[in-house]
Structure 1
Amino acid sequence: MIRTLPARILESVSDPVLSILVTATLISRVGRGIFLAVTVLFFTLVVGLSAGEVAIILAASSGVGVLASFAGGWLADRLPVRRVLLAFTALEGLGLVGYAAIGDFVGALVFGIVVGAFGQAANTARMAILARAFGPESRVHARAVLRTVTNVSIAVGSGVGAIALAIGTAEAYRILLVVAGLLYLLAIVRLVRLPASVDDLPQGPALAELRTETGSIDAVANRRAARRAAAAHSPWRDTRFLLLTALCAVFGMQFGVGELAVPLWITQQTDASDVLVAVVLILNTVIVVCFQVPLSRGSHDFHIAGRITGIAAWLMAASCLVYAAAAGMPAWVSILLVVTAATGHAFAEVLSQAGGWGLSFELADPVRMGTYQGLFSAGYSVGAMAAPLVVAGTTESLGIIGWVILAAVFLAAGLGIRAIARHAARAESAVAPLERVVGA
């Protein structure tokens, strides 16, 4: 029997922790959708900022998000993660409410930095909860469910944001920004119900070693030893995880391709109607919503994570080449090629996200899950910041050759991630027989 998407999602959230996170996400991400729909036009039409000033605000918000991602994970390893998530969500919501009072560039810059920082920090705290509250088989599934819900909620919020665009008054923009912030604060009503178990650190030999470094009753000596042991669990000393983060950040620039390169390519290099831009965005949303959860299944396994990431690499490379081929063709051919490329691009996005999530959870040190997830999120933020420059320096400046370069970059990054997964799988296979002998 074919189950509907809502039925599959409801079945997925039988776990109480995931149920709470899903409902909180449903509420808050509607607010996020409103914010994304109106913020740029609010800056330009209501506050009166120039395009350059808006670009500075967006860049500053993204830049501080890189640091906030890591800081959020660092705090999640040292404070009760529930309180960290609640505090950051509340501050992000208050920041969105504060947007409504903005009247100049300085105010917009300050609130842009506040919202960007606390939003990224809250996201990292949420990932730390997933890493602690769920087992290997469930973490990626939970992450996929949250991403699906996020896409649906943002789409709904964008529709609500269209109200302000239709009315066109300053009051309409400001009221909807307040509504967006209040939705974040409303989500806290659900988040406070998270069980205390999400604050528990994972158990294991590494954690036992961290807690019994000296065996001394000297509190100062124990604290110093704990700091030395914690440093040994730092992701900055984990070459494999640093490489994974860098490669996933590079592949993550595919979001910039969809948001910037494809719309510009359609409008400037093809005879297709500009409506095709909206069609591509809708197609991407539908594919992500329908397939992210089922195609993420099993990606906690290194073999599966490597396989689907390899498929994503080839799909993304092929999509870049097909996008390029749409230039200069008859309109109907361009439409066919762009839709084909966008379909491959969307599935590459879904598969690469699933593989990256699985590896980021399974290759992280369980003692410092928050810090590891913070670093991984920071990598994605760096990739998002670099994406517009990379896209402008390739497709916009070099045309078809630029698309070929992008294809090569995505292929190399995806196959590099696959190589990390395969190496991890071999190492795991080599250790398993030894563990059985020791257990015997």
Structure 2
Amino acid sequence: MTLQDPTDTTATNPNLAERIARSLSDPVLRALVASTAVSRIGRGVFLSVTVLFFTLIIGLSAAEAAVVLAVSSAFGVLASFLGGWLADRWSARRLTFVFEALGAVLLATYAFADTFVAALVIATLAGFFDTIGHSSRSAIIARGFAPDRRVHARAVLRTVTNLSIALGSGIAAVALAIGTPEAYRVVIVGAGVIGVLGTLPLLRLPASVDAPTRAVEPVRTETGSIDTVNTADAARAARLDWNRRSPWRDPRYLLLTLLSAVFGMQFGVAELGVPLWITERTSAPEVVVAVILIVNTTLVVLFQVRASRGTHDVRTAGRVTMVAGWLMAAACVVYALAAGLPAWSAIVILLVAAVLHTFAEILSQAGAWGLSFELADPVRAGAYQGVFGMGFSVGALAAPIVVNATAITFGLVGWIMLGAVFLASAAGIWWIARRAAEQAA
């Protein structure tokens, strides 16, 4: 009896647990899933209590808390590229283990922060190391799976991430309910410990996920002695070839990264724009923010793996991204329509927009994963994934400014402007994918 391919659409449709179980026959994915399942519980705990810990326990102002998070994100931009760059030169599995473990330990030290400066330093270091580890994970995925399996692996990992973060948020709710400084500090230390435990499965990754050696074989003369001149020439040629393969010399990939970063601002819409819009411009109760988060998490868990099938094909990835662009543009308009309506009407409109937004997120992620892998030079997989991750970090930094300057400031007109930005970026990605498919034909 043979295992069914989890990407085989002709097989009987299994449920979510069965699809994930079938995927775990792969030792690389099994180790990554185990690590993700544990470590993201800790991350879910931390994400749920961070801002409130800063403001209610440490006593930071809202502006100071924003500065801490912004500086940490800014260092994450550099860390995204650095993680991929290092993964091309040293063992990606060891780098991921070391840096994610460091990030988790530093996360636990938040519990002992009592000033703005302490919070800023810890947040910067913790975010920096965790982002390096996450970036080198992308290099592991690029090397550890066949081309038609990489996007599936990312989809499975994202599904597991959402489930674990949801569980972590539930644990954090205990501290939020108790509300004492001790409760906050206990769950933060616990989140760090869980994060460290989550790195242990990475030690089971095989050496095949590491970058191939770049050693130059010595050139020998007819007598068998080493020709030092020609060996030196070969080494220089190898270095030149290595440099030519840099993602910074690949205009197509850089444009893909830029456009993907623009579309990636959709996460800023969900995290900042929608909560502010609901509380400031609609009559819907604040609890709708939590309901929308639950809807988003549920749909991602149910459909991310399924929606990612076939997106290892460049042309398919482009088409999927274009559909995501239309969905996101529609979601922006529907969000805007919730303003001025009675509470129940506003709730219905917001939930419709959230569903459109979530499917735009699911499809855009599937398309982005496929294109980021397929259009990269496999020799410099780490550097390419690092650059692509850096683009998303830049998009995350820009998102609050862009969302506030459009949707929150100008209302309906601003939402339409924002939707047009997402649609234009999706169209650009679709064009890149189509050209790449034509050139490969």
- TM-score normalised by the chain length of structure 1: 0.93
- How do residues 49-68 of structure 1 correspond to structure 2 at under 5 angstroms? 49-68=60-79
- The aligned amino acid for 1:94 is V
- The aligned amino acid for 1:357 is W
- Residue 279 of structure 1 pairs with residue 291 of structure 2: yes
Distance in 2, Cα, partners of 1:184 & 1:230: 35
- The aligned amino acid for 2:161 is T
- What fraction of aligned residue pairs are identical, expressed as a percent? 57
Shift of 1:226: 2.9
Distance in 1, Cα, partners of 2:306 & 2:252: 28
Partner residue in 1 for 2:261: 249
Q: Secondary structure at the match of 1:143?
A: helix
- The aligned amino acid for 1:119 is D
Q: Secondary structure at the match of 1:100?
A: helix
Distance in 2, Cα, partners of 1:275 & 1:102: 30
Distance in 1, Cα, partners of 2:309 & 2:435: 21
Partner residue in 1 for 2:105: 94
Partner residue in 2 for 1:127: 138
CA contact (8 A) 1:326 1:334 kept: yes
CA contact (8 A) 2:89 2:211 kept: no
Distance in 1, Cα, partners of 2:281 & 2:430: 34
Q: Secondary structure at the match of 2:36?
A: helix
Change (3 A) 1:231 1:200: closer
- The aligned amino acid for 1:375 is V
- How do residues 112-191 of structure 1 correspond to structure 2 at under 5 angstroms? 112-191=123-202
Q: Secondary structure at the match of 1:339?
A: helix
CA contact (8 A) 1:245 1:376 kept: yes
Partner residue in 2 for 1:270: 282
Q: Secondary structure at the match of 1:403?
A: helix
Q: What is the CA deviation profile of residues 8-32 of structure 1, one whole-angstrom value per residue up to 9, with x for unaligned ones? A: 2111221011001001100000000
The alignment of Structure 1 onto Structure 2 pairs a total of residues equal to 423
- Residue 17 of structure 1 pairs with residue 9 of structure 2: no
Partner residue in 2 for 1:26: 37
Partner residue in 2 for 1:316: 328
Could you tell me which of 371, 390, 396 is aligned with 2:383? 371
Distance in 2, Cα, partners of 1:366 & 1:212: 21
Shift of 1:273: 2.0
Distance in 2, Cα, partners of 1:79 & 1:223: 19
Could you tell me which of 319, 324, 329 is aligned with 2:341? 329
Shift of 1:214: 8.7
Q: What is the CA deviation profile of residues 371-399 of structure 1, one whole-angstrom value per residue up to 9, with x for unaligned ones? A: 00000000000000000000110111111
Partner residue in 1 for 2:395: 383
Q: What is the CA deviation profile of residues 194-213 of structure 1, one whole-angstrom value per residue up to 9, with x for unaligned ones? A: 111111439xxxx8xx9579
Partner residue in 2 for 1:433: none
- Judge which range, 61-70 or 300-309, deviates more: 300-309
Could you tell me which of 19, 25, 29 is aligned with 1:8? 19
Change (3 A) 1:96 1:214: same
Distance in 1, Cα, partners of 2:371 & 2:237: 30
- The aligned amino acid for 1:27 is V
- TM-score normalised by the chain length of structure 2: 0.93
- The aligned amino acid for 1:19 is R
Shift of 1:115: 1.1
- Residue 356 of structure 1 pairs with residue 373 of structure 2: no
- Judge which range, 211-220 or 313-322, deviates more: 211-220
Change (3 A) 1:175 1:421: same
Partner residue in 2 for 1:342: 354
CA contact (8 A) 2:216 2:235 kept: no
- Judge which range, 218-227 or 27-36, deviates more: 218-227
Q: Secondary structure at the match of 1:367?
A: helix
Distance in 1, Cα, partners of 2:56 & 2:158: 31
Distance in 2, Cα, partners of 1:147 & 1:217: 50
Change (3 A) 1:262 1:214: farther
CA contact (8 A) 1:213 1:225 kept: no
Aligned CA-pair RMSD: 1.7
Partner residue in 1 for 2:8: none
Q: What is the CA deviation profile of residues 175-234 of structure 1, one whole-angstrom value per residue up to 9, with x for unaligned ones? A: 1111111112112221111111111439xxxx8xx9579996456544443332211001
Distance in 2, Cα, partners of 1:213 & 1:344: 59
Partner residue in 2 for 1:234: 246
- Residue 393 of structure 1 pairs with residue 409 of structure 2: no
- The aligned amino acid for 2:252 is R
Partner residue in 1 for 2:59: 48
Distance in 1, Cα, partners of 2:344 & 2:195: 43
Distance in 2, Cα, partners of 1:145 & 1:41: 31
Distance in 2, Cα, partners of 1:334 & 1:37: 26
Distance in 2, Cα, partners of 1:138 & 1:2: 18
Distance in 2, Cα, partners of 1:340 & 1:104: 42
Unaligned runs of 5+ in 2: 1-11, 221-226
